[in-house]
């Protein structure tokens, strides 16, 4: 009601906050003993005996044996029961729909990939629901055991409303309340999230961000996406569009971007921008290995070709990618000076860049970011397992679950 006032804490919220804290800690650092959990959450051992007993009763946590101990009684280690429930991760990309079934540890059990252009049934939602049903059927899992669904898609969208707004090039996905639609269709809680945000979250849970609670994630996949994690939580801003590093400007007199801004990082560092730079240089007479592969017209040149060529020591490709990295680095410098994160995580496709290209990104940050912020900054590369996109989506579902542990503990059977 009064959003601007500060909320108090009642006993119920204490209970659920503590269960959420314990679950999250266990997930991220398992196996842990009760004692470990008590230390990490700042709760007492007695409280942890109680809370853990609830989790054991609910069958979501198990004792996995004994830990090492220099002296004294050996701790009983605890871990999630990986297959107590299963998570569905759905990623909508510009080219395909990927659906993954995951256990509670985010291990992929089954993956289904379908071209986004190929429709099944009446509309995009029908297609999606059909594919989800198909994926679950193929996996052989009982719907009863699927506890949450995460959906990631390129923006713009509203995670809170679960609504896709107006994705470029996909008019029939416009203004669809995808979250509620999926949730109602399967009677399973569902969350919709920006794809880069979902991946940022995945880095936090099981990738390069495990050690950090405050970081900026960027990926250069289809467009330049990014996400910010603050205090271990996705930071989405007041209207849900925060963290658009790709649409910060590094040159206010630069070319106009589709977003309305001028000189966006995306204009210099995204895949299409990189391809365009190579084409321009080639048209201006620069020689490149890429002509050996694609002919003199560079037919069908892609971002991947440029990355591949750079690994074959093609000077033009290396030069263009380094320049893109410097542009991205400059965008990150601005983000660092505003957000002062513990780490920068470089996501998909950046992980395939040559080291010397990434080094020029690091160099820009070292030289240009505020020294106090740059000094302790970690710049690391993604460590997400495949299928990365669906994992990110499933991770959003996991995050939703662990933040609302009654979804796990006080579960009423679902209806497929």
DSSP state of 193: E
Q: Is 267 in the site for DNA (CB under 7 A)?
A: no
Smaller CB distance to DNA: residue 49 or 187? 49
- CA 35/CA 25 separation, integer angstroms: 12
Q: Which partner, DNA, a copy of itself, none, binds residue 52 by CB below 5 to 8 Å per kind? A: DNA
Least distance in angstroms from the C-beta of 192 to DNA: 30
Q: Where are the beta strands (DSSP E) in 281-399?
A: 343-346, 378-381
The first and second tokens of residue 18, run together, are 């503590």
Least distance in angstroms from the C-beta of 68 to DNA: 9
Least distance in angstroms from the C-beta of 363 to a copy of itself: 12
Q: Is 5 in the site for DNA (CB under 7 A)?
A: no
Give DSSP secondary structure letters for 205-224.
Answer: HHSTTTT-SSEEEEEEESEE
- CA 414/CA 416 separation, integer angstroms: 7
- CA 195/CA 206 separation, integer angstroms: 16
Q: Which partner, DNA, a copy of itself, none, binds residue 239 by CB below 5 to 8 Å per kind? A: a copy of itself
Smaller CB distance to a copy of itself: residue 131 or 333? 333
The CA angle 203-335-305, to the nearest 5 degrees, is 60
- CA 190/CA 195 separation, integer angstroms: 15
Question: 361 with 63: CB under 8 angstroms?
Answer: no
Q: Is 33 in the site for DNA (CB under 7 A)?
A: yes
Tokens 């680095």 sit on residue: 329
Least distance in angstroms from the C-beta of 103 to DNA: 24
Q: Which partner, a copy of itself, DNA, none, binds residue 35 by CB below 5 to 8 Å per kind? A: DNA
Q: Is 31 in the site for DNA (CB under 7 A)?
A: no
> Which segment (67-75, 235-243, 310-318, 371-379) binds DNA by CB under 7 A?
67-75
Least distance in angstroms from the C-beta of 296 to a copy of itself: 33
The first and second tokens of residue 21, run together, are 């804290």
- CA 63/CA 41 separation, integer angstroms: 19
DSSP state of 70: S
Beta bridge partners of 80: 61
Q: Which partner, DNA, a copy of itself, none, binds residue 261 by CB below 5 to 8 Å per kind? A: a copy of itself
Smaller CB distance to a copy of itself: residue 185 or 230? 230
Smaller CB distance to DNA: residue 52 or 202? 52
What part of residues 69-128 is at the interface with DNA (CB under 7 A)? 69-77
Instruction: Choose which of 20, 25, 30, 47 interacts with DNA (CB under 7 A).
Output: 47
Q: Is 1 in the site for DNA (CB under 7 A)?
A: no
Beta bridge partners of 378: 343
Q: Which partner, DNA, a copy of itself, none, binds residue 194 by CB below 5 to 8 Å per kind? A: none
Instruction: Choose which of 44, 95, 337, 367 interacts with DNA (CB under 7 A).
Output: 44
DSSP state of 176: B
The CA angle 94-98-100, to the nearest 5 degrees, is 155
Question: 188 with 147: CB under 8 angstroms?
Answer: yes
Tell me how far CA of residue 57 lies from CA of 27, 84, 408, in angstroms.
Answer: 17, 12, 12
Q: Is 52 in the site for DNA (CB under 7 A)?
A: yes
Instruction: Choose which of 51, 132, 275, 332 interacts with DNA (CB under 7 A).
Output: 51
Q: Which partner, a copy of itself, DNA, none, binds residue 69 by CB below 5 to 8 Å per kind? A: DNA
Contact residues toward DNA (CB under 7 A) are: 8-12, 14-15, 18, 33-36, 43-47, 49-53, 66, 69-77
């Amino acid at each position: 009601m009064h959003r601007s006032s500060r909320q108090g804490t009642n006993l119920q919220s204490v209970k659920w906050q503590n269960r959420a804290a314990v679950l999250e800690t266990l997930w991220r650092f398992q196996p842990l003993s009760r004692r470990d959990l008590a230390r990490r959450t700042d709760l007492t051992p007695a409280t942890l005996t109680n809370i853990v007993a609830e989790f054991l009763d609910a069958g979501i946590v198990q004792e996995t044996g004994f830990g090492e101990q220099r002296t004294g009684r050996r701790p009983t280690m605890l871990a999630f029961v990986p297959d107590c429930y299963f998570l569905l991760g759905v990623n909508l990309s510009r080219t395909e729909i990927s659906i993954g079934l995951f256990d509670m540890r985010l291990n992929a059990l089954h993956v289904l990939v379908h071209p986004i252009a190929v429709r099944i049934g009446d509309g995009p939602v029908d297609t999606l629901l059909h594919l989800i049903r198909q994926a679950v059927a193929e996996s052989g899992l009982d719907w009863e055991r699927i506890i949450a669904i995460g959906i990631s898609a390129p923006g713009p969208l509203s995670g809170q409303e679960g609504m896709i707004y107006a994705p470029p090039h996909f008019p029939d996905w416009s203004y669809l309340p995808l979250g509620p639609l999926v949730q109602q269709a399967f009677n399973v809680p569902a969350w919709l999230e920006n794809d880069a945000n979902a991946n940022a979250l995945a880095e936090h849970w099981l990738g390069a961000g495990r050690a950090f609670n405050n970081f900026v994630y960027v990926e250069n996949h289809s467009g330049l996406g990014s996400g910010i994690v603050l205090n271990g939580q996705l930071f989405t801003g007041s209207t849900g569009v925060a963290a658009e590093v790709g649409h910060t400007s590094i040159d206010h007199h630069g070319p106009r971007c589709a977003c309305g801004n001028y000189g966006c990082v995306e204009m210099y560092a995204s895949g299409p921008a990189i391809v365009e730079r190579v084409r321009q240089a080639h048209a201006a007479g620069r020689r490149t290995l890429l002509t050996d592969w694609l002919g003199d017209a560079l037919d069908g040149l892609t971002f991947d070709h440029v990355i591949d060529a750079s690994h074959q020591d093609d000077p033009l490709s290396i030069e263009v990618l380094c320049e893109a990295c410097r542009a991205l680095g400059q965008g990150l410098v601005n983000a660092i000076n505003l957000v002062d994160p513990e780490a920068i995580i470089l996501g998909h496709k950046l992980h395939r860049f040559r080291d010397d290209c990434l080094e020029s990104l690091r160099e820009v940050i070292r030289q240009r970011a505020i020294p106090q912020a740059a000094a302790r900054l970690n710049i690391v590369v993604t460590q997400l397992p495949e299928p990365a996109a669906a994992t990110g989506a499933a991770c959003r579902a996991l995050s939703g679950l662990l933040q609302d542990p009654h979804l796990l503990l006080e579960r009423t059977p679902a209806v497929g």
